[in-house]
Amino acid sequence: MEDVKEHVPDLMSTLDLPPGAISDTHRFLAPPYSDSYLTSYNMFVSLVLHVEFKTGEPLLLSEVAYLMAVKQTQSEVVDYGGRGIFDQTNDYCKKFHYFKTQESLGAVRNSLVNAGLDSAEVALVGTVVPRDSDEALTLFPSLQSKDIANIDIALNEINNQKDALG
């Protein structure tokens, strides 16, 4: 919570919130304020990230699915009643991931890194797996500054692996 309090004065100056709009917990807005204040506050809360998010690398959905499967086999996952967040996330990852082995995950990541994509683009493209560079450029405009030929080569390699896996 101290990390949040450090950033509040800097971020508050950029928002259109009246003084005292954010409570001591930095989570609740006093009721008399309009929806525009709530929207501004929600934007503010989303800007304040935990320390791990500042130093971590984005993962492909397939990498998340792999890590969750490893975690599930290593230890008992604590469930605090009902259907836990871990189970829901695990089900989602199992449903939508393409690459199931460490080798295929490594090959996908290496292909995209070698194509010149940054870490966020690697995670996005490796999760969505567009069919060709036209689809990738439509979905991810930041790729327009990259070498399209290298992206096409990487996408061909990735789609061949995806098709081979069924």
Buried b (16+ CB within 10 A) or exposed e, 34-50: eeebeebbeebeeeeee
What is the average pLDDT across 101-116? 92
In angstroms, the CA 64 to CA 148 distance is 27
pTM of the model: 0.64
Which pair of tokens denotes residue 56?
């971590």
Give kind and range of the element (H or E) at residue 133.
helix 133-139
**Are the CB atoms for 136 and 151 separated by under 8 Å?**
yes
* Better-predicted residue by pLDDT, 49 or 122: 122
What is the average pLDDT across 6-32? 44
**pLDDT interval class at 40 (50, 70, 90):** low
Quote the pLDDT of residue 44: 55
On the question of pLDDT at 164 being above 60, the answer is yes
